Amino acid sequence: MKRSKIFQIFGLLFFVVMVTVATNYVINRNNTGQNQQGFNFNQIPASYANFKNASRAGDTDFTVAAELTVNAVVHVKVKSEVMQSRGFSGDPFFEYFFGPQLRQQQQPQIREGAGSGVIISSDGYIVTNNHVIDSSKEIEVVLNDKRSFTAKIVGADPNTDIALLKIEEKDLPYIIFGNSDSLKVGEWVLAVGNPFNLTSTVTAGIVSAKARNINILNAAMKIESFIQTDAAVNPGNSGGALVNTRGELVGINTAIASQTGSYAGYSFAVPSSIVQKVVSDIRQYGVVQRAILGVEIRDINGEFAKEKNIKTFDGAYVASVVENSAAEKAGVKIGDIITNVNGVVVKSVAELQEQIGRYRPGDKIFIEIQRDNKKQKLNVELKNRQGNTELVSSDVNIDLLGATFKEADNKIKEKFGLDYGVEVKSVDKGKFSNAGIKSGYIILKINNIKMSSEKDIETAMKAVMDNADQNKVLWITGFYPNGKTAYYAIDLSN
């Protein structure tokens, strides 16, 4: 047989074998691509095929983000003074007749704490958590290159747990703000901080959820709309940076979900949208300008929706409307469901609080409500806590008291023959709580001046702070609804 004939035969055989193998591969591939229910696992979902950034999925190179941020995260060391009770003997003359009396004396003790902070400008402005520096007497900031500086507090906001510090230095590395609104669940993020007093440490995780309310802030007008991540965060990370893969600041790490105090799966960060507003207000006005809608709201669950015959689970249900508030003036009624603020959809109480928290008194916005299962749009001019549209003075910050107030009820006034008085409506973490003042307390006088409104309290605070010749103390006279008189002293100097 000629050699050419042999090559032709072998070529034909090779072709037949390859066609057979390919056919069997295709058959087997199609068979394994289906389960018993007939789903084709090899078909690309239309939603994924149409997703513009699908080509970026799986990109987990965090080196650029880490390099951009690690040197701009600092270690914050805090010394604070706490009062500790110590037993001591009373008046010797009294004890001679009635025996030894053990009393409690408050002795100051120095407590040390630590957290993290984020440099946000080259001239030394640093963001951290309010709970990191709360009641501090001395703050030291240690940079990632080991340089140390004394920091001063520019301002703090317990309602969002954000504080702004300042150190005197130039040409510092800093992190630029990113847009926390654009974060998507499942997106990679990095947590940069100083856990366990180590230098800046980077951990990675994904955005697990947004607009989480975990009820951890003890403040009169708290805003909780946290970014939840599974990036490892431990003690000392508080006040550190949550950044996206571009190295932009999208949150300030604040809390962990843990029964042990150490990382156990989830951590929570204040979104950069809130942080920017707080920082901007503190720098511009010296105090956060809090816009108030004037409603009491709640989330909607299945049982509540059935009870109220509501056909949606999204939005914030209006349980009550404050008299003379921005909401009342705009026409909001009990039973309305707020679903949108200035074009931004809100699905929960946390999301509504986050959106309103971005505005200042006097800002004009629109909200969308659902009433009787029909949509309406209402125009709202937001107010401050005093019920007007003026910006709050930077001289005093009434939020430091940690309480909300209202004019004393007419029944109380009639019962005790008064024509003035301010009721403490609620008490959270702050100076009132520390002093032992409870909700329901009727304030009659501060520094011997009659109180009739929250504005009067603010005026009394300002008078004390402006007087350089006296101690910064509010001497408060009042009583509880049961008629028990009580006196308190609130020191504003620390």
- 57-66, 81-90, 140-149, 393-402: lowest mean pLDDT where? 81-90
When pLDDT is averaged across residues 445-458 and rounded to a whole number, the result is 90
Residue identified by tokens 């910050």 is 397
Phi, psi (rounded to 5 degrees) for 416 = -105, 10
Based on the fold, state whether residues 135 and 218 are members of the same structural domain. Answer: yes
Sign of dihedral through CA atoms 292, 296, 301, 307?
A: negative
Is the pTM for the entire model greater than 0.75? no
Residues 471 and 436 in one domain: yes
Shared-domain flag, residues 256 and 137 = yes
Inside any domain, residue 386: no
Do residues 324 and 274 share a domain? Answer: no
pLDDT category at 35 given cuts 50, 70, 90 is very low
Q: Which residues are catalytic?
A: 131, 161, 238
Same domain, 225 and 100: yes
Strand arrangement of the beta sheet that strand 102-119 belongs to:
148-150, 136-142, 73-89, 102-119, 125-129, 162-166, 152-157
The answer to the question of residue 51 being in a domain is no
* Residue 28's pLDDT band (cuts 50, 70, 90): very low
User: Which of 381, 411, 435 is at the close of a domain?
Assistant: 381
Instruction: State yes or no: pLDDT of 33 exceeds 80.
Output: no
**Range with lowest mean pLDDT among 145-154, 172-181, 358-367, 451-460:** 451-460
Q: How far apart are CA 458 and CA 434, in angstroms?
A: 19
Q: How many domains does the chain have?
A: 3
367 and 241 together in one domain: no
The domain of 313 spans 295-381
- Residue 451 covered by a domain: yes
> In this predicted model, what pLDDT tens digit does every residue of 134-149 receive, in sequence order?
878 899 999 999 999 9
How confident is the model over 36-52, as a mean pLDDT?
40
Domain endpoint, select from 354, 381, 408: 381
Same domain, 225 and 264: yes
DSSP state of 285: H
Q: What is the pLDDT of residue 259?
A: 64
Domain co-membership, 168 together with 255 = yes
C-alpha 197/C-alpha 115 separation (Å) is 8
Is residue 299 domain-resident? yes
Mean pLDDT within 250-258: 87
pLDDT surpassing 90 at residue 380: yes
Q: What is the CATH number of the domain that holds 234?
A: 2.40.10.120
- In the DSSP assignment, the letter for residue 23 is H
CATH number at residue 300: 2.30.42.10
